[in-house]
Amino acid sequence: MKKTALYPWHEKAGARIIDFGGWLMPVQYSGIIAEHKAVRSGAGLFDVSHMGNFSVRGPRALEFLQYMTTNDLGRAVDGQAQYTVMLYPDGGIVDDLIIYRIDSETFFIIVNAGNCEKDYQWFREHVGAFDGVELEDRSQELSLIALQGPKAFGVLRKALPAVDAETLGSFHFRKAEFRGAEIVVARTGYTGEVGVEIAVPNAMAVPLWEALLEAGKEEGILPIGLGARDTLRLEMGYSLYGHEIDRDTNPLEARLKWVVKLDKGEFIGRDACLKVDADPKRSVAGFALDGRALPRQGCPVFSAGGEEIGRVCSGTLSPTLQEPVGTCSVLREYAKVGTPLFVEIRGVRQPGSIRRLPFVKTSLS
């Protein structure tokens, strides 16, 4: 089992630890609902060091990444990050990822923990066609800490006064220093709240974590586990690999058309995306149920007329709304907001309807 540099802190803090894709990770500390509400109203601190990270360098690095991913990285400037997806030739999703442009020949990539080895091999399989491009897996060198919530910037000002994150645009980043170590602070996140994600050398992960917690005492900051991380992202309708997106899903049928730039030139999976774009069959949509039964991944979804129209991708009880919500992949004609549906949970069809995403308003709304 793999452990992050912060694992001893989590264990000492009494976190409930689970196996998450081969990593021993905290699923909760004080409780999922309390942690969720802390992020929505104040600030929360997440250890996301299990995420994979690679560096790509060389004169043809941009050309290589343009071919490997769907978004137009050519539009990004130095100091900017971009959300994108990587596809198989048939249009199925290898992974979703964030690419940071350091300069025209240097890029930093963050990928999902469970896909790290697969993603690295997929990059390696294609990098040889681009002379001079170097690919390096840095996942064992760096820790990733996310500070999220409406009071996150106030916390950051106390702990890292030189960063001035408020002047950073969304999906922009800058280098900074913490006790002599170089760190990267990015205006990115997975909660729908303002905040940052920080890449820090492993040796400085615990000192930075503790400094942020100390700085956030007055704001009610809490350490946040994977449980609340999932409820927070689901309230926003954000995709999670293995749920809304996977090997068998085309991004154009998963609310990700905005990151597929069909006019940018050739990329892996472009032909398949062109075909789907001409006649999309499915869509991922948000929904809510009328009762209290909780929808879970894989539950069948039915139309008001009794036709099976799709499956639940993700489901939970929204801590903010206090009602069962989820996402589902359904036939496109049933994805319109307000459309009635039924979700079968333990043999009983529960009524509900398609809802607009995101489910809640946040500090970024």
Displacement of CA 59 from its chain's centroid (Å): 29
Q: Which domains does the chain have, with CATH numbers?
A: 7-51+140-234 (3.30.1360.120), 52-137 (3.30.70.1400)
Q: What is the distance between the alpha carbons of residues 288 and 11, in angstroms, rounded to a whole number?
A: 36
CA nearest to 62, candidates 104, 7, 6, 20: 104
- The amino acid occupying position 19 is D
- The amino acid occupying position 312 is V
**Which pLDDT belongs to residue 365?**
78
Give me 21's structure tokens: 């894709």
User: Looking at the DSSP assignment, which residues form a beta bridge with residue 176?
Assistant: 183
Q: Where are the alpha helices (DSSP H) in the chain?
A: 7-12, 32-41, 61-68, 116-127, 152-159, 205-215, 226-236, 270-278
- The amino acid occupying position 172 is H
**Which pLDDT belongs to residue 21?**
86
User: Looking at the DSSP assignment, which residues form a beta bridge with residue 312?
Assistant: 328
Give me 278's structure tokens: 């001409």
CA nearest to 41, candidates 228, 177, 180: 228
User: Along the 365 residues of the chain, how does pLDDT read in single tens digits?
Assistant: 999 999 999 999 999 999 998 999 999 999 999 999 999 999 999 999 999 999 999 999 999 999 999 999 999 999 999 999 999 999 999 999 999 999 999 999 999 999 999 999 999 999 999 999 999 999 999 999 999 999 999 999 999 999 998 999 999 999 999 999 999 999 999 999 999 999 999 999 999 999 999 999 999 999 999 999 999 999 999 999 999 999 999 999 999 999 999 999 999 999 999 999 999 999 999 999 999 999 999 999 999 999 999 999 999 999 999 999 999 999 999 999 999 999 999 999 999 999 999 999 999 87
Residue 222 backbone dihedrals phi, psi, to 5 degrees: -130, 150
